[in-house]
Amino acid sequence: MEKKQALQCVVLFVCISASWIRVESLGNGLGLTPQMGWNSWNHFGCNINEKLIRQTADALVSSGLANVGYKYINIDDCWANYNRDKWGNLHGNDATFPSGIKALADYVHSKGLKFGIYSSAGTRTCSGRMPGSLGYEKQDAKTFASWGVDYLKYDNCNTDGSAEKQRFPVMTQALRASGRNIFYSMCEWGYQEPAKWGAEVGNSWRTTTDIKDTWSSMLFNIDIC
């Protein structure tokens, strides 16, 4: 039974990933093989802080996972202050990331790992606890690049009602102009069939809803993949 379950997990990952491992949509040399690493959302949700991220980076190295390809440490939602500053810039949450996001990215890089961050193609992110990047794509992309971000997960909450095919490519262009190669992970949930157009926009595109820590959730996503 355990062998069968493991095989099904592999099938799920291949189903999500196989369509894009052969493309180089942004011309940035990224996404040629499946991205592997750690993301904070599934287990921790909004309960994240810089200590947790540093400890996770340490664990990825000490466990040996980094040596076999698990390179990304990706912060999900809730990393930023509730509002932008007076110049419209994003900043790490003063309470949970007091050292700032650049210092955290520098620490992750010092471990030989890559650093990822999160935003949404809407006015707020999915938690509602921080601003999204809609209308601020160029500014945010430059901010991410200045911090040393290697990966952007771009969600689809609190939109203005415009089509995904209109909003997501704006961030594509912003990342291209940011001065840094940043992996672009489109989190569009599969509603607009991104497998048919994602190769023109991002390095990877999500085709399902959230995967929860349950077997039924895994099976559900396998079936709709």
Q: Catalytic positions, please? A: 155, 210
Tell me the C-alpha distance between 184 and 203, whole Å.
Answer: 5
| DSSP summary character for residue 212 | P
Tell me the C-alpha distance between 65 and 112, whole Å.
Answer: 12
Following CA atoms 125, 128, 129, 130 in sequence, which dihedral angle do they give, to the nearest 10 degrees?
40
Which residue, 82, 98, 197, 175, is CA-closest to 132?
82
CB 42, CB 5: distance < 8 Å:
no
Phi, psi (rounded to 5 degrees) for 116? -120, 155
Which residue, 90, 175, 171, 87, is CA-closest to 129?
90
